[in-house]
Chain A
Amino acid sequence: MTTSAIGPVAGHEGVPLVEATGIAKRYGPTVALQDGRLTVRAGESHALVGRNGAGKSTLVTILTGLQAPDAGTVLFDGEPAPPLADRDAWRRKVACVYQRPTVVPELSVAENLFINRQPQGRGGFISWRRLKAEAAQVLDTWDVHVDPDARTADLKVEDRQMVEIARALSFGARFIVLDEPTAQLDNREIERLFTRMRALQDSGVTFLFISHHLQEVYEVCQTVTVLRDARWITTAPVAELPRAALVEAMAGEAITESKARTKPDVPADAPVLLDVRGLTSTSYENVDLTVRRGEVVGLAGSSGSGKINLAESFAGLHTPTAGTALLDGEPLPFGDVPAALRAGVGCVPRDRHGEGLVYGMSIGDNATMSVLSSLGRYGFVGPDRKRAFADGLITRLDIHAEGPDQPVSDLSGGNAQKVVMARALASDPRLLVLINPTAGVDVKSKESLLARVDHARDDGTAVLVVSDELDDLRRCDRVLVLFHGRVVAEHQAGWHDHELIASVEGVGHTGSPVRGARNGAPSPHRPAAEPQGENNG
């Protein structure tokens, strides 16, 4: 495809609309982007893919002028990008529609389109008539069917996204970054979004499309750029890059197979500890699952797959609408955290900042929070017993700290996560539910945390690991893959990375895309987005 064939906006022959080369960005010691490259031609829809932490978001903040790169250049139409302070100049070139809305919810759609540049009449007063007319014109021009008088808070996600796109276009930008636009949409809304994207593309708008669903890349994009480990890996026309090759580019070479586990298999006669039948809720449906004594089962899936909600259900945080779960023959109490704790479930929640730790409290207080009743009578807790217990946990988990009285806010990410793990292990659980257990921790702490999982396993605990990290999942005896709330694959230990990633991304190796059923099918195969949303960086 040559640029001249693309149509109205290819201003300079052969000059790409956006060209970023050698982009590097560090945040303190972490390298967010080492060799970021991106070349987007006018009029195409360009996909940017990569696993969490590959540097996609960093590249976007640099492309939209929110941050300056440490090194490298960004060119628009062959000219250097405007200075960071010149927001207006940036707005005329590029806009990003984030998952988080950047509109004012209480104001009307029309006003949101023109915040701080409302058309003024005599004496500098806003002319609401003209504002409405111009808003209607903008919406009409870009074929956005939204009432300009509607309160923006009342809009559906898809309409809100279209309003944000229309606003960007009205500034003159013809390059729109869509950051996981499909994450909160159901199948039919996604179809509508794609139809609109194609129509806008025909009228000269260029998109950079970020998604975790590779299927969507093939549906709507012409070119794809892959980032991995903060580096540019490849840029290729979508048509020339088969799925297997794309997955391989994202995952990298499967060098880790040599680290095949040496652990003994779980004996086939080991009793089933967790037995789940037909569990259904708004974010997952009809899940069957068993975990034996001493078995580690992984749960993988993209954000919005329902994996986190499923795991949290076992910890008593949600109540499924149907189905049963037996723990050692006893029904698991749903929706009741204290009862789940008493039943023998220990949980590492998904976000240590949000749910894992109370930052104002000490290590000892945090680690013993869920077992206080066993440390004293009538709710009174002897400080000595608590301290001794916490000391034991600190040694067991190899937490590097001055002692139980040190506040957790002093700790590094890895040590803080160990405290969360200590709390989960404090009650000697029979079922250990770990959600993103190694998120945001350094390599050493990660090893130490995973070693604890192996210990628990050897002690006969049943372990359920929910994670986006392949390293976490590699330790599992089995990995189940959830896609849009259903278990779509099961991988025995020893799987290849690309196999797992392919089934996580929904490009099943069976050849039938899991989303294939969605064209025209009214039933939502994709359950509503998890309300709390998964934090996937």
Chain B
Amino acid sequence: MADIKAPSAARTATPEARARPRESRSAKSIVLHRARELALVPALLLLMVFGAFVNDSFLTERNLISILGASAALAMVVLAESLVLITGKFDLSLESVVGIAPAIGALLVLPAAQAGFGTDLPTAVGLIAIVLVGAVIGAFNGVLVVKLKLNAFIVTLAMLIVLRGVLVGATEGKTLFGMPEPFFTLATSTFLTVPLSVWIAAAAFGIAGLVLKYHRVGRALYAIGGNPEAARAAGIRVDRVMLGVFVVAGALAAVGGLMQTGYVGAINANQGTNMIFTVFAAAVIGGISLDGGKGTMFGALTGVLLLGVVQNLLTLAQVPSFWIQAIYGGIILVALMIARVTTGRAQD
């Protein structure tokens, strides 16, 4: 800290007289802050109680674990998207990363007879390649957006289409299966009866939350999303941080794709298709602002869980499959309205 010369006048002014109102105000503002973070928790609890009433099998350990397992891949992509959104940018192409990254990993490993590239690389290399592909795609997006100053929305929309096309082209539209067992480990092996993917997603959220709250790099994301000029003036390397966020987001989405692969047991040419809508819904319901600079990892996580529970309830209630989408979309709208009312501020 630079030297602060205390003006004598300020020192003698009764500090205790000022301290009191400030304390009470700060307590209030902390409560308010928490309220925003926890906005979805009541809705989530209400939904759980509701679920327990309408269906006996809802509140069983087995079902709850299955909700978590089904949500893990979505959670990873929501985490990735939230980081990009907090920085004030967009990345639509993450849903295609969910498909293409594990597919390339698989193609590197699979023999040519099973539609692979025929490189027959070791499984470990294939797994590492998955994360690398995600990071490289993120870096590519980042360079276009940050260095070439292209609009993030349209760049990543184009990338979404390109990558989708590459996936279909590389697999010739076929479903990839028969990958070595480690490709499925995340979803199939469990620790304390909970799938590994859930633990990893939880850890990823924990680490991201910690960094966002307690590290300069994390705080830099909020500063950039809130006012990039002010961030630049404060000495933050805005371009470098943004590029890094795109890379990390791509890698996280790739891991999400691997989880999805394990959960499904194969890689369909459509893996990840339309997922981005759910991702945005979860992030925005969870309080991540589309304008940047706002939102917490905890909020994003509650958004994911809420959608997971709703999805599960709809399945348990045996809603005719033709109607599930309409109801699902309606519930997202209602959740947005509830979030708007409970937080008392405009949703961006």
Contact = CB atoms under 8 A, between A and B. Distances in A.
B226 A107 contact: yes
B5 A203 contact: yes
Contacts of A141: 4, 6-7, 10-11
Nearest to A115: B234
A200 interface: yes
Interface in B255-297: 293-294
B26 A172 contact: no
A150 B21 CA distance: 13
Contacts of B235: 87-88, 116-117
Task: Tell me what chain B mostly uses at the interface: helix, strand, loop, or mixed.
Answer: helix
Contact of A120 (B8, B26, B216, B225): B216
Interface stretch (A97-105, A242-250, A479-487): A97-105
Chain B interface size, as a band, is 35 or more
Interface string A88-127: 1000100000000111111100011001111010001110
A149 B26 contact: yes
Contacts of A200: 7
Interface in B207-240: 210, 213-216, 219-220, 222-223, 225-227, 229-231, 233-236
Contacts of B222: 104, 106-107
B231 A147 contact: no
Contact of B215 (A92, A125, A143): A125
Interface residues of A, number: 45
B10 A143 contact: yes
A106 B292 CA distance: 10
Contact of A143 (B13, B29, B219, B229): B13
Interface string A379-406: 0000000000000000000000000000
Interface of B: 1-11, 13, 15, 18, 22, 25-26, 29-30, 210, 213-216, 219-220, 222-223, 225-227, 229-231, 233-236, 293-294
A107 B215 contact: no
Contacts of B293: 104-107
A34 interface: no
Interface of A: 8, 87-88, 92, 101-107, 111-112, 115-118, 120, 124-126, 128, 134, 136-138, 140-143, 145, 147-151, 169-172, 199-200, 202-204
Nearest to A147: B25
6 contacts: A104-B222, A104-B227, A104-B230, A107-B223, A118-B219, A126-B219
A264 B22 CA distance: 67
A492 to B, nearest CB: 46
B236 A8 contact: no
Given A116-B235, A147-B26, A199 B220 contact: no
Given A125-B215, A126-B214, A203-B5, A150 B29 contact: yes
B6 A148 contact: no
Contacts of A169: 4
B219 A203 contact: no
Nearest to A136: B22
B286 to A, nearest CB: 16
